[in-house]
Amino acid sequence: MTLEPFGTRLRRAMDERGPLCVGIDPHASLLADWGLSDDIAGLERFTHTVVEALADRVAVLKPQSAFFERFGSRGIAVLERAVADAREAGALVLMDAKRGDIGSTMAAYAATYLDPASPLFSDAVTVSPYLGYGSLRPALDLARESGTGVFVLALTSNPEGAEVQHAVRAGGASVAATMLDHLRAENAGAAPMGSYGAVVGATLGDSLAAAGADLAINGPLLAPGIGAQGATAADLPKVFGAAVRDVVPNVSRGVLRHGPDVAALRESAGRFADEVRAAVESDGPTAG
């Protein structure tokens, strides 16, 4: 099975449903806030509620794999069902697994998330390039073959990331800028948008310039940091400039804190999507 390219499907979903990605992050404190137990029963209830509330209306749902893995095989079973149910309802699923390895191990990670025969088959996956961009080749190639996408960690919002991502290579380019250059090459000629994205924190502001980052990669930019981490939709044009129309803002706690009320989850996600769309459209003439 080969799907339409992920970039094509993502652009359509963003246009139709609004440019927003909502995380599914069932960590212990959030389960407690919902009045749920920190066990399989709580995990199932939480995950089913988020999928039921949002999968038929948001562009992207992003399960954080670690919060399911901590429950072992039963947690993975909950994740498998969530992925299938979300995709059936029309949401694109971005698996937040941040995998990174070499050779046959990287190929196995790629098959886990990007092979249509896998029970965890998703529309895209996050990967870490810090064993060298070339180590990602199995995932990049399988994504192209299967019509899925890959989001590469480039300029992350955690403060520790700068010691690696801002490091300057021989020749003067930062590591982050080098990753963005690689992605730009992968996406060359793709329309309306390539399938190879970067993770770039919405909270970074001026530090993007310090890293020498050209964000125009003709691909999606997953932008964590909206909501609980302090960034707002109104910040996006200033942070991302001409690439703002390719930004997929990620909100997790800002939406999930309204659960377990389904209507409140839907209202919060809809409000974030509307705010992002308004910010991007108001900046249209200068944003590209």
Residue of 27, 48, 98, 257 marked catalytic: 98
Give the integer Cα–Cα distance in Å for 276 and 78: 31
Say whether pLDDT at 1 is over 80.
no
- Separation in Å, CA 226 to CA 26, 48, 140: 18, 24, 28
Average pLDDT of the residues of the chain: 93
Q: pLDDT class for 287, splitting at 50, 70, 90?
A: very low
Q: How confident is the model over 109-135, as pLDDT tens digits?
A: 999 999 999 999 999 999 999 999 999
Strand partners, 96: 64
Dist. CA 98–CA 222, nearest whole Å? 13
Q: What is the pLDDT of residue 163?
A: 93
Confidence grade of residue 288 (pLDDT, cut at 50, 70, 90): very low
Structure tokens given for 272: 């974030």
- Which two structure tokens, joined as six digits, stand for 136? 């990602």
Residue-range domains of the chain with CATH: 6-280 (3.20.20.70)
pLDDT for the residue 228: 64
pLDDT, average across residues 193-206: 91
C-beta neighbour count of 81 within 10 angstroms: 15
Q: Give the tens place of pLDDT for each residue, 153-166.
A: 999 988 899 999 99
pLDDT confidence of residue 213: 80
User: With 90 as the cut, is the pLDDT of residue 21 above it?
Assistant: yes
Asked if 282 contacts 25 with a C-beta cutoff of 8 angstroms, the reply is no
Position 205 pLDDT exceeds 50: yes
Tens-digit pLDDT profile for residues 167-187: 999 989 999 999 999 999 999
Q: Is 98 a catalytic residue?
A: yes
Average confidence (pLDDT) over 15-39: 97
Query: Is 80 exceeded by the pLDDT of residue 192?
Result: yes
Q: What would the pLDDT profile of 209-238 be if each residue is shown by its tens digit?
A: 666 689 999 999 999 988 766 788 988 998
64: tokens are 């954080």
**In the prediction, which pLDDT does 210 show?**
62
Of residues 118, 104, 186, the one with CA closest to residue 146 = 118
Q: Would you state the structure tokens that stand for residue 165, as one six-digit string? A: 């991502």
Please report the pLDDT score of residue 204 as a whole number.
Answer: 84
Residue 153, sorted as left (phi over 0), alpha (psi -120 to 50) or beta, turns out to be: beta
